[in-house]
Amino acid sequence: MTKYLIGSNLLLKLVFIASLSLILVACSGDKGDDLDKFMATAANDMGKGVEPLPEVLPYTPLQYNADGTLSDPFKARKAANKAGALQPNTNRPKEALEAYPLESLKYVGMMSKSKLTYALIKTPDNTVQQVKVGNYIGPNFGLVTKIDETAIALKEIIQDDLTGDWVERTASINLQE
């Protein structure tokens, strides 16, 4: 009986090997020829020439402020203290709306009482403040000069970047609808 089992195991092994080799032979048909053809013609479709890299020009350094017209950015500029020159009043107490940049303030309305006109200004923290002509708004010493239905006119005093002198400029805050 053991001889019969050994013989059947051997027979099963031979059948398995024969069927596996038949499968391998069946799969190896014309497919290898297609791959060989592709490999032979693939190089024909590729571009043969590569454009050369552009010529790199040598770096020529330039001297900063060679003509002496620019001020040194690392040295503090002195403010001009000329007699009679325009200067902001730094001794007065700051008003509440001077803590906010003009871009963050919104002109939302106007009201009048006792021949005085007040503008209603909404701040970034959603509070509403009243201002009248003569009040200050913004970080640049902005003095309110006129209030009407469409805008608030301001006169700001700022320092000129080149000379350090104080100069006036006008600004406005338009009504937000």
Q: How many domains does the chain have?
A: 2
Question: Does the residue 39 lie in any domain?
Answer: yes
Residue 142 lies in a domain: yes
151 is a domain residue? yes
The answer to the question of residue 75 being in a domain is: no
| Mean pLDDT calculated for residue range 113-134 | 91
Q: What is the pLDDT of residue 34?
A: 80
Residue 77: left if φ>0, alpha if ψ -120 to 50, beta else—which one?
beta
Residue 36 in any domain: the answer is yes
Give me 44's structure tokens.
Answer: 């024909």
Quick: pLDDT tens for 67-77: 777 777 787 76
Task: State the residue for tokens 């297609």.
Answer: 34
For 144-175, the pLDDT digits (tens) are 999 999 999 999 998 887 777 888 999 999 98
The domain in which residue 128 lies consists of 96-174
Judgement on whether residues 100 and 165 belong to the same structural domain of the protein = yes
Listing from the earlier edge strand, what are the strands of the sheet with 116-122? 106-113, 116-122, 128-131
Residues in the chain: 177
Which CATH number goes with the domain that contains 108? Answer: 2.30.30.830
- 141 contacts 156 by C-beta, under 8 angstroms: yes
Those residues whose C-beta lies under 8 Å from the C-beta of residue 127, and which sit 6 or more positions away, are: none
Assess if residue 90 is contained within a domain.
no
The answer to whether residue 73 is domain-embedded is no
The predicted structure's pLDDT at residue 33 = 76
pTM value is 0.52
Query: Does 36 share its domain with 101?
Result: no
Q: List all residues 6 or more positions away from 98 whose beta carbon is below 8 Å from its beta carbon.
A: 136, 137, 138, 139, 141, 142
- For 71, the token pair is 């001020």
pLDDT in tens, 19-69: 888 887 776 655 557 888 888 887 777 766 778 889 999 998 888 777 777
H runs (alpha helix) in 46-170: none
Note whether residue 84 is domain-resident: no
